[in-house]
């Protein structure tokens, strides 16, 4: 069973052996079945969560760190997308203490306009670390920062993540 949360259905393509899903910004995918989820990240961040005992995985893709409108549920924002991803996994039988996370993205694509303000990418990564720590979720891998975007592949059936700069 797989779950999707966004403003519409994700296209799922039947491959030779595995379904593939492209994850757009502001979307979440959780699944107890093997799926190959792909996305492209710049300053955006994706968090891949995996419970090896339940064999359930989930991923989000958010653009900005915090939703300025309290009470709004908008998955384009890290604070909302992370909480919702965890909720969806718990609903599939995942135990929070078994979840491991991988954090990918958060590049500084645009050159700084001066000043000491953190880039959007850095802020997105900081929000990921903060919320995962708040929930006691261990980060087992991270590929963040830099000045180049990344292509990300996440296998929900085994928790493997592949990321390369583009």
Instruction: List the catalytic residues.
Output: 44
Query: Structure tokens of 80?
Result: 């909302």
Q: Are 66 and 76 in contact (CB under 8 A)?
A: no
141-166 as b/e: b if 16+ CB within 10 A: ebbbeeeebbebebbbbebebebeee
Length of the chain: 166
| Distance of alpha carbon 27 from alpha carbon 61, whole angstroms | 6
In this structure, how many other beta carbons lie within 10 angstroms of the beta carbon of residue 112? Answer: 10
| 8-state DSSP, 32 | S
| Distance of alpha carbon 113 from alpha carbon 1, whole angstroms | 46
**Distance from first CA to last CA of the chain, Å, rounded?**
32
């Amino acid at each position: 069973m797989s779950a999707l949360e966004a403003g519409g259905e994700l296209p799922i393509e039947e491959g030779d052996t595995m379904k593939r899903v492209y994850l757009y910004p502001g979307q979440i995918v959780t699944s107890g079945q093997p799926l190959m989820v792909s996305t492209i990240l710049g300053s955006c961040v994706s968090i891949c969560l995996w419970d090896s005992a339940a064999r359930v995985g989930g991923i989000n893709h958010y653009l900005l760190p915090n939703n300025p409108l309290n009470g709004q549920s908008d998955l384009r924002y890290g604070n909302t997308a992370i909480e919702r991803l965890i909720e969806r996994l718990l609903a599939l039988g995942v135990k929070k203490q078994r979840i491991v996370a991988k954090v990918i993205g958060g590049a500084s694509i645009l050159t700084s306009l001066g000043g000491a303000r953190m880039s959007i990418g850095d802020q997105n990564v900081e929000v990921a670390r903060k919320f995962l720590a708040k929930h006691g979720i261990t980060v087992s891998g991270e590929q963040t920062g830099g000045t180049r975007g990344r292509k990300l592949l996440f296998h929900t059936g085994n928790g493997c993540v592949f990321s390369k700069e583009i």
